[in-house]
Amino acid sequence: MTSQSQGIQQLLQAEKRAKDKLEEAKKRKGKRLKQAKEEATAEIDHYRLQREKEFRNKETNVMGSQGNLSAKIEEQTTEAIRNLTSSYHRNMEGMMKKLLSTIFDISPEIHPNFRPTV
């Protein structure tokens, strides 16, 4: 009987050691999963920062050229306004004379389609 109880005790102890080893393995697995998650998060953050930096560089290049285009368009617009204003002042008096002469110098004529009624 004692050998049976010793055998049972050994089995119980072996079962307890196996259970302890399983718990230990679960803890290690949990730690490793947590560590892997942290590593993945760090890698994702690093990748995100890298891509944002590249995006900002491209954005700066594009916006910089748009800024140059904006200044160039503003300069062209100012030049066009200056040209139109000078043209207006140069031609205003002659155009007014021509317009007034057209209005005041009326030569009455009968319209070519007019048919006198009999």
Structure confidence at residue 77 (pLDDT):
96
pLDDT for residue 1? 62
Cα–Cα dist 118/36, whole Å: 112
pTM of structure: 0.43
* pLDDT of 23: 95
Confidence check: pLDDT of 64 > 80: no
Q: What is the DSSP letter of 7?
A: H
What is the overall mean pLDDT for the chain?
90
Predicted confidence (pLDDT) at residue 78 exceeds the cutoff of 90: yes
Q: What pLDDT is stored for residue 5 in this prediction?
A: 86
